[in-house]
Amino acid sequence: MKLALAHVTLLAGAFVAALTLTTTVSHNFAFVSGGDRLDVFFDSAASAATLGAIVAVVIATVVSRTRSVGAAAGFGIVLLAVVSLVQPAGELQLRALAAGLILGGVAALTGMRERRTLQCALVVGVVSGAVMAGPLESEGIPARYADYLEPDAPQRYLLVALGVFAVLLAVSAWMKAFEKEPVPVDNKGRMLLVGIVIPVAGLVLYWLFQRSVFSLGTGEAMQNRWLLGLVVIPLLVGAAFALPAATGAVVLAALAYLGAGPTGSFEMSTALVFVALLLAGSVVGWRWRSAMVGFALLAVVAATGLFTDPPVDWINMGANAFVLPFAVGLLYASLLPTATPAATMSVTTPIAVSIPIVAEFGWTAYTPLTTIEPKFSPTAWMWTSTAVSVGSVLAAGAAFVVLRKRRGVV
């Protein structure tokens, strides 16, 4: 009973933290500060995700006593509740701070007994929260008005989820579900350095991406391609090797997820299926370690990027809805357990590094007035971008093979 309560509590906390970091706030808007777009560093969802990720890693690394962990998570609950109800100035960053405290607290609790299953619950909670944010944000808003109305559904669902988590945390404390102290973290300095560098680098890349988009149309440039996102690949591979021993292998799962993950959000029904398959993949990965199968499945999902236009777009949509979640759950579960900070980095990276690895953007030259029969005819850029996505997953898999041979990863 205590063990089941511990897992549910941890999953609920991870879900709340991810939902907080991935939904918008009522009065949030990014004002334009010239072509430099410096507002991205202090008033954007990316900067909030960076702050939340750093706070979570710091808490998961530094705090090593159950009472202190509970206090951090409890303060995060109170802060998030007050900020959500009052909506003060600086709401975006205060929410990120609260989410980081909650996520870091529940992540630290995975460093005790049943570490592997608790970390699987952490992954399922964070990924589920991030996936459900889109459907919840559009809940109750007609599609034709979605760009003009401020969503309030996420706020309601967030408060309900926060209340559930608060009750579960209180009951867990009363029943002493987390009775053992977390295992102390070794090499704290290196863990903190890597945990801070990843989200900060992601924020800088996001700023550079926004500058590229903002400068579109200057001079004679009416279209542009984003290739600087390729830096993400050596960034995360380097992070995996920089972490002590074999703890960094799970960061490669985040890279593979970024390479194969969908660019848009799901509808509610599809998101629920996604979560169910994510859980199924985690169970399979927990029973049978199959990391290379997970990398292979994600490479297949990435390859379906060629099939994003009618009449074959159902291939890409089906892969993202059904194969992707199972593969993500399988891969993460196969690479766990690991050190608590590394597990925290692996789940915050897909949120904090919120840029496309490659992208094409620009003004549409014209819109045909006649109906064109759709046919499968991928452009050269589609072939290139798909190859990059597949390549990023393969790079993660290859890095895992090298890491396994050098450091004895299972």
| SS3 sequence of 194-212 | HHHHHHHHHHHHHHHHHHH
pLDDT score of 156 more than 90: no
Q: By mean pLDDT, which of 57-61, 147-151, 160-164, 308-312 is the weakest? A: 147-151
**Poorest-confidence range of 13-22, 54-63, 189-198, 307-316?**
307-316
pLDDT at 372: 59
- For the record, the structure tokens of 10 come out as 């941890």
210-214, 232-236, 355-359, 360-364, range with greatest mean pLDDT: 232-236
Q: In this predicted structure, what is the pLDDT of residue 203?
A: 96
Cα separation values, 313 from 86, 270, 375, Å: 44, 16, 10
Q: According to the 3-state scheme, what is the secondary structure of 65-123?
A: CHHHHHHHHHHHHHHHHHHHHHCCCCHHHHHHHHHHHHHHHHHHCCCCCCHHHHHHHHH
- DSSP letter string over 267-299? PHHHHHHHHHHHHHHHHHHHHS--HHHHHHHHH
Q: What pLDDT is attached to residue 142?
A: 47
| Type of residue numbered 68 | S
- Of 214 and 147, the structure prediction assigns the larger pLDDT to 214
pTM for this structure?
Answer: 0.91
pLDDT of 342 reads: 95
Q: What is the pLDDT of residue 89?
A: 82
Looking up tokens 């975006």 gives 92
Q: How many CB atoms lie within 10 A of CB 405?
A: 9
Q: Looking at 30-44, 109-123, 184-198, 371-385, which range is the least confident one?
A: 30-44
DSSP conformational letter for 318: H
